[in-house]
Structure 1
């Protein structure tokens, strides 16, 4: 038996277990209309006995790291410069300002509340950029520290729940404020955490609102790259990961993310390939969050208390108020 077969035999059980969780989560999400990441997380947590020392552990660890990074890299297939340019400079500036301020304020407030400042970066980035996907991407770039996996999973749960609530509440807000279709799309796309909920809320109002919201959301996804670079710089400043190695300033998944976005902008990636890359990215991220769920114990999440909940709720409200303020100033 050669080395490749030995490696495959070592990782296959855990990878298959993670994929099974992803398939079950996608099925449940399509049936009940709930966030697929949340289902993957809960199903993974129900199978956490697999992550203890045993045949599944190596593959689960690989899914939580390697498959996660592949999913983040493939997010680049969703973005083209043409999509960003089609809305003009104001929505781009609005997104940049709102993302930077939300993350900065989150880090300051997290520190004031007695949390590790990295939790502020993780939860603030998830709120400001693209929900669970951003939480997983930032977790992959941040240094290892006690409670990191628990913080990541709590962030995924929080943004998934808040994103679902926002999908219901924010269309009502846009109608109450009398926002025109473009401003409504910018508000929906600039505030709701996850892409699926942005699409659901936007197109529930009108096709024009949905199109605008989707493009604005993709601009937020594009902000993932510079935020990952900042996270890696923090990791390097703190001496790297537990291995003692200083990670590269641009990890491979960030380089791949940028490369795919550039190729898509140049027309080198056909629409069918873009659709395939986006779908594969989702599968990878759902598989990874299922694996992360297997690595956590429910009793550990139960100890987080009310303060992290208040922090994430405050981040969500701050982002919504900030985007409305920037829309008002721009009109």
Structure 2
């Protein structure tokens, strides 16, 4: 029987690459805290600048690959500890329906537009899912279940970089739009939490208006995060049943990290996870994802990433604008 416990030799081979990924994550967090730049973006850019450390044959390559794969899955799974059914109470059925439908229609929009411009279904699911759900975290989770090809890493890094930059721009502009439209505290929270990609930028945008808006925005954002597990499962099932998936290695029916996400979300919903543990799991998840995105940046050549082209940039911007417009219209109709 094959042992799942790594040997001392394996640990020694993995340590240099893991250490590099962790150091980049710590550096990115330092830059974020002292200069206000998004930590995810800093980790990705620092990783890209040190790509030579992940080239085949280097001492750091095995650990970097592990960080980009296993540490990522652990980070996504731990997100489930922040999800609870109680978060739905008080928001109201129309608002919940608006947030959930916004996720679904954005993904459908991405599929349609990518088809029109000749981009693959996988690219549509990757960009559309990351815009619709939770930015970089969703991009990495979705990429884990999509069939791999020679441009998979490039597409993932492009998506993470794009949604992080767009999310940062939205963090500045969307509170202005919220004030311009005269939204109430609840509506401002739904608009910010329902449209901005990354959790950190949602928090920043919401609390820049008021503590109440910040709390509502974070709540709405976590509802979108809760959509991660079912969306990833649907994508996985779709690829397993497709003709292309039958000729190669099929993605898992339900990846282990999604199972972990669901188990933690259920345990939290029935009150078996104390609040302090839920908070700790959320912080640990953020650090794991930061380490993972640093490793993803290390594994990616900046030159190859730039080959993605202007059409791809226009696509992800269009998806962002579409989601923002959909939620704005929905808020007007509900009120």
TM over 0.5: yes
Question: 1:310 corresponds to which residue?
Answer: 314
Aligned pairs for 1:1-331 within 5 A: 4-52=7-55, 53-238=57-242, 244-331=248-335
CA contact (8 A) 1:78 1:274 kept: yes
**Distance across 2 between alignment mates of 1:270 and 1:325:** 38
Deviation at 1:307, TM superposition (A): 0.9
**Distance across 1 between alignment mates of 2:6 and 2:158:** 38
Structure 1 unaligned residues grouped into runs of 5+: none
Deviation at 1:143, TM superposition (A): 1.1
Q: What per-residue deviation string (whole Å, max 9, x for no partner) do you get for residues 142-165 of structure 1?
A: 110231110110011111111011
Cα gap change, 1:225/1:273 in structure 2, threshold over 3 Å: closer, same or farther?
same
- The TM-score, its normalising length taken from structure 2, stands at 0.95
Deviation at 1:245, TM superposition (A): 3.7
Cα gap change, 1:156/1:12 in structure 2, threshold over 3 Å: closer, same or farther?
same
**Distance across 2 between alignment mates of 1:106 and 1:250:** 23
Q: Secondary structure at the match of 1:28?
A: helix
CA contact (8 A) 2:147 2:250 kept: no
Cα gap change, 1:205/1:128 in structure 2, threshold over 3 Å: closer, same or farther?
same
Q: What per-residue deviation string (whole Å, max 9, x for no partner) do you get for residues 220-262 of structure 1?
A: 0001011101221133134788994434321110010011011
Paired residue total: 330
Deviation at 1:3, TM superposition (A): 5.9
Aligned-CA RMSD value: 1.7
Structure 2 unaligned residues grouped into runs of 5+: none
**Distance across 1 between alignment mates of 2:127 and 2:109:** 11
Larger CA deviation: 262-271 vs 149-158:
262-271
Deviation at 1:201, TM superposition (A): 0.8
Runs of 4+ residues over 2 Å off in structure 1: 237-248
